[in-house]
Amino acid sequence: MPIIFDAHEDIAYNMLAFGRDYTQAVAQTRQKEAKTDIPRQNGTCLLGLPEHRQGNVALAFATLFAVPIRHQIAAWDTYVYRDAEEAHRLYRDQLDLYRRLDEETPADFRLIRNASDLRLHLTNWQDAAETRPLPLGLIPLMEGADAIRTPDELEEWWALGLRAIGLAWAGTRYSGGTGDPGPLTREGHALLEAMSAFGFLLDLSHMDEAAALEALDCYEGRLFASHANAKALLPHSRSNRHLSNRVIRGIVERDGVIGIVPFNAFLVDDWQPSEGRARIGLSHIVAQIDHICQLVGDAAHVGIGSDFDGGFGVESVPSEIDSIADLRKLVPLLAERGYTADDINAIFGKNFIRLLEESLPTL
Ligand SMILES: [Zn+2]
């Protein structure tokens, strides 16, 4: 069973905006939320620490995320920011939460700040004699950079453990984003320059193609896409959220990795939540993985970025998936498609682990 690296989980956002307790099993969270509005608002829960352990999901990029007020969904959606000050406060709360989880519940959650943390964490997960329940390793990732008031702040974010930054969700003052097309702004260029000096990983997810292509040209640090699918398989989608083959090739030329999102609307472009999920299966995830591998000629640059509980739940994922534990069901399907055991280990975890080994500070 390969070790799985999930490149996108909105853990802190769910804990703070919806009060979810991810030490609980998925079934317990569902029971607790059965008579609340949460499943309708954010989907029926897919994440729980016991399911991470069952599914061998050892590591995740754990996001800092909040919604700009202009994208507020409804009155219940109060976890929103009006300006950079408010974004800063919400995102700092989330990073503080990850730091608290690491300090207070190290048996459950562990912050991965450097290469030696990563090595130790992986040794524990790989050690067959290790029978205790193992913690989930968290690498903090900022989704949407409005929370960075000025590039001078990067030193503090870095010191607190932030290791990866995506400039956009919707557009930000740094970059065109999903639903808000546009290039990098002048502030965006300045932020990228400052980020590379520290060694932050740049997440191109949600960036408009114009901005992503500019960033591919000018960012001097390492880059990746935590959760984004290939546009080539979504020909009717009107979203600028998906990756063109040109951007995919650009990421791979920079030895980056792309996390495929198992969200039905990003797998089949005419899928509607009202139709149910019977039509969408794991084979649609395999098609996305295979597209990247065929396009670039290897299995060294693709992974999984589930985005589970990131605004959708079990209603909106392929029909064979009931929780994060079920990502492992992709293993035999990839083997049938001709992927070797090494390829499968790479796709599930080693590609992202390689990126981290090469980019995290040594200490
Ligand atoms: Zn996202």
pLDDT in tens, 136-193: 999 999 999 999 999 999 999 999 999 999 999 999 999 999 999 999 999 999 999 9
Does position 39 have pLDDT exceeding 70, yes or no? Answer: yes
State the distance from the centre of ligand 1 to the C-alpha of 143, rounded, in angstroms.
7
State the pLDDT confidence band at 134, using cuts at 50, 70 and 90: very high
The domain containing residue 293 runs over which residues? 4-359
State the distance from the centre of ligand 1 to the C-alpha of 206, rounded, in angstroms.
7
State the distance from the centre of ligand 1 to the C-alpha of 170, rounded, in angstroms.
9
Does position 60 have pLDDT exceeding 90, yes or no? Answer: yes
State the distance from the centre of ligand 1 to the C-alpha of 295, rounded, in angstroms.
24
Residue 254: which of 287, 225, 290, 283 has the closest Cα? 225
How far is the C-alpha of 357 from the C-alpha of 163, rounded, in Å? 12
Nearest-5° Cα angle at 106, 56 to 326: 20
Mean pLDDT of 81-87: 97
State the distance from the centre of ligand 1 to the C-alpha of 9, rounded, in angstroms.
9
Does position 108 have pLDDT exceeding 70, yes or no? Answer: yes
How far is the C-alpha of 258 from the C-alpha of 203, rounded, in Å? 10
Does position 130 have pLDDT exceeding 90, yes or no? Answer: no
127: domain CATH number is 3.20.20.140
State the distance from the centre of ligand 1 to the C-alpha of 191, rounded, in angstroms.
20
pLDDT value of residue 152: 97
Report whether 66 contacts 80 (CB < 8 A): yes
Helix ranges (H only) for 76-185 are: 84-104, 115-126, 154-159
The backbone torsions φ and ψ at residue 269, rounded to the nearest 5 degrees and listed phi first, read -80, -10
Phi-psi region at 119: left, alpha or beta (left = phi > 0; alpha = psi -120 to 50): alpha
State the pLDDT confidence band at 363, using cuts at 50, 70 and 90: confident
Task: Please tell me the total count of domains within the chain.
Answer: 1
> What is the residue-averaged pLDDT of the chain?
97
pLDDT tens digits, one per residue of 1-26: 899 999 999 999 999 999 999 999 99
State the distance from the centre of ligand 1 to the C-alpha of 95, rounded, in angstroms.
17
State the distance from the centre of ligand 1 to the C-alpha of 228, rounded, in angstroms.
8
Percent of the chain surpassing pLDDT 70: 99
How far is the C-alpha of 238 from the C-alpha of 154, rounded, in Å? 34
HEC readout, 14-60: HHHHHCCCCCCCHHHHHHHHCCCCHHHHHCCCCCCHHHHHHCCEEEE
State the distance from the centre of ligand 1 to the C-alpha of 144, rounded, in angstroms.
9
Report whether 178 contacts 170 (CB < 8 A): yes
pTM of the model: 0.97
State the pLDDT confidence band at 127, using cuts at 50, 70 and 90: confident
pLDDT value of residue 330: 98
Residue 252: helix, strand or coil by DSSP? helix
State the distance from the centre of ligand 1 to the C-alpha of 310, rounded, in angstroms.
7
pLDDT tens digits, one per residue of 197-253: 999 999 999 999 999 999 999 999 999 999 999 999 999 999 999 999 999 999 999
How far is the C-alpha of 68 from the C-alpha of 79, rounded, in Å? 9
Residue 345: which of 360, 326, 330 has the closest Cα? 330
Does position 272 have pLDDT exceeding 90, yes or no? Answer: yes
Does position 132 have pLDDT exceeding 80, yes or no? Answer: no
Report whether 59 contacts 109 (CB < 8 A): no
**Residue 288, H or E segment:** helix 282-296
Mean pLDDT of 291-296: 98
Percent of the chain surpassing pLDDT 90: 97
How far is the C-alpha of 122 from the C-alpha of 125, rounded, in Å? 5
